[in-house]
Structure formats: structure tokens, C-alpha cells
Amino acid sequence: MDKFLEFTSEHTLLVLALMISFFVLVFTELRRKASGLVAVDPTAAVTLINNDATVIDLRSPESYALGHIVHAKNIPFDELDAGKDKVAKLKNKPIVTVCDSGITSNKAVAALRKSGFESVYGLKGGMAAWSQAGLPVVTGKKTKSKGKK
């Protein structure tokens, strides 16, 4: 304990900087939790999907056709209010929202939570982060079966 007090007295600025960094970290985390916006990284999203979460892709149908997460439902962000009856039956299941970069999905999370959805998460970094993590993407193209030519 004497060495700790000696170190503190000799390195006041260093200890002060450490304490400020700690409080900024705690404040930021508390503010993030209080806002209700929960962004998950691709690995955590896979865990949610494996535990029966539904993926809602907020991108345009064209972007969705270029590549999307397996079994994702395409409801463009600007049609989310109109499509709430499609999503209403998922109220008791976890939902992961996906967009291109993660910004639109945070807006969708806030809107859905305001509507009473509890387990809604946004994919941090969007499809860009999903692809960068090397996770599987399904394209909208139809594939021929092996037996047909």
C-alpha cells in the first residue's frame, strides 16, 4: 500500500489521466445502455441467429438481391412503418436489423423499441462488417439444380 501511495504522489498526472479515462469509459457505457440502442458485432449476431433470431434486411430490394444473410427478410427502412404488421408477429423473438453500414439499422432499432419490441439489435458495421468477417452471403440469383440442363 505504501508503494501505491508513493507511486500516486510521484505520478499525479498519470494517475489523474487513468482515472479520467476510467470515468469516461463508464459514462459512455452507461449512456449507451440507457439509450436502449444495442449494436452487435457479426459474431454476436451469428449467436443470436443460431438462437432463433430473425434477420430484417433494411436495404433496397436491389441491394438485397446482390447479397444478404441467409433467411433474412427484406423490409426496406422506408417501408418499415408500413410493414410493421409483418414484424408484429415477431415481437417475442429477437430481431437483428441489417443495413449497408450500420447507421440505418440503429434508427430501425430505436423505432422498433419505441413500438414495444424488446429484443431488437442492429448489426454493427452492417453488411460491410458481415462480409469483412467472411460470413456467408446468399445472392438473389436462381441456381439450376444438377439434374436439369
The grid coordinates listed for 103 are 447507421
Give the start-end residues of each E strand in 12-134. Answer: 39-40, 54-57, 73-74, 95-98, 120-123
Q: Residue 117 half-sphere exposure, CB side, CA atoms within 13 Å?
A: 27
Residue 58 annotated among the catalytic residues of the structure? no
C-alpha 81, offset from chain centre: 20
Q: Which three cell numbers stand for residue 96?
A: 437483428
Exactly one of 46, 55, 99, 127 is catalytic; name it. 99
Query: Over 44-87, what HEC string results?
Result: HHHHHHHCCCEEEECCCHHHHHHCECCCCEECCHHHCCCCHHHH
What is the SS3 assignment for 26?
Answer: helix
Q: Are 76 and 61 in contact (CB under 8 A)?
A: yes
**Which residues are known to be catalytic?**
99
